[in-house]
Amino acid sequence: MAETAKILCPQKTVLIPDLDAGCTLADDCPADEFAEFRNKHPNHFVISYINCTAAVKAQSDLICTSSNAVDLVKQIPKDRPILFAPDQNLGKWVQKKSGRKLTCWPGRCIVHETFNEEALIKLKLKYPEAETIAHPECPTNLLDLSDFIGSTSKLLKQTEKSQATTFIVLTEPGILHQMRIQMPDKTFIEVPGIDGCSCNACPYMRLNTLEKLLACLETMQPQINLEETVRLKAVKPIENMLRMSK
């Protein structure tokens, strides 16, 4: 996301508290391997989820978020086959919702892959009145057990407007803090990871601590900088997304 800010606002200073605060989706899709993948699929329209590197964005025709991915895919000309990167779980869900066939890059989010299906079923049996809400980065077996699927912002809205008072939440647990603040009278239940661990807390996001935030504001380091040739290519699919999302 810090790179996206720099792509859109090259004249501004973009700081990030920890340069290692990346994302498995970006790490799983190296630009050179993605270029080979594209070469094996000529004439494909390339749509990439915003959680990818600037170098992968630069090889894409269109960027999407989990909020707008289905709507954007529906707008891609019907005569063009489609490549979707880097999250294959999101890609499979978008394929189902849009009715368009997608060839997916095999990336995944380590957080959403980690939820334990058996633990989810036990929670659903224990709280039969609860609504299960999930982010589409979750694998299909978990999405099939969910009552509502949507981006983080849509999950938050769903917890506000739903009649349910108890929610089983399948996404990065940081959002539960926001849900509990906005709806203190409702109950939000986390699903444990495989083997009952808490590995479903994103280790990348948690690298950005308050101490590092203070240090980066004091030193104005580290900064995000991009090669201008990459930035110029990467800005086009983002602009396409903004134009097509209107």
Cβ of residue 198: shortest distance to ligand SF4, in angstroms?
13
Cβ of residue 242: shortest distance to ligand SF4, in angstroms?
21
Q: Which is nearer to ligand SF4, 44 or 190 (CB)?
A: 190
Characterize 150-160 residue by residue with b for buried, 16 or more Cβ atoms within 10 angstroms of its Cβ, and e for exposed: bbbebbbebbe
Q: Which is nearer to ligand SF4, 183 or 201 (CB)?
A: 201
Q: In angstroms, how far is the first alpha carbon of the chain from the final one?
A: 21
Cβ of residue 51: shortest distance to ligand SF4, in angstroms?
5
Q: In sequence order, what are the residues at sequence separation of 6 or more whose Cβ sits closer than 8 angstroms to the Cβ of residue 78?
A: none
Report the interface residues with ligand SF4, using CB under 6 A: 23-25, 51, 109-111, 172, 202, 204-205
* Alpha carbons 119 and 194: distance in angstroms, whole number: 8
Cβ of residue 81: shortest distance to ligand SF4, in angstroms?
26
Q: What is the H or E stretch that residue 121 is in? A: helix 117-126
User: What SS3 class is residue 122?
Assistant: helix
Q: Which is nearer to ligand SF4, 25 or 143 (CB)?
A: 25
Q: Which is nearer to ligand SF4, 109 or 238 (CB)?
A: 109
Cβ of residue 174: shortest distance to ligand SF4, in angstroms?
8
Characterize 109-135 residue by residue with b for buried, 16 or more Cβ atoms within 10 angstroms of its Cβ, and e for exposed: bbbbbbbbeebbeebbeeeeebbbbbb
Q: Do 146 and 132 contact (CB within 8 A), yes or no?
A: yes
Q: Which is nearer to ligand SF4, 35 or 205 (CB)?
A: 205
Q: Which is nearer to ligand SF4, 3 or 172 (CB)?
A: 172
Cβ of residue 157: shortest distance to ligand SF4, in angstroms?
19
Q: What is the H or E stretch that residue 2 is in? A: helix 2-8
245: left (phi over 0), alpha (psi -120 to 50) or beta: alpha
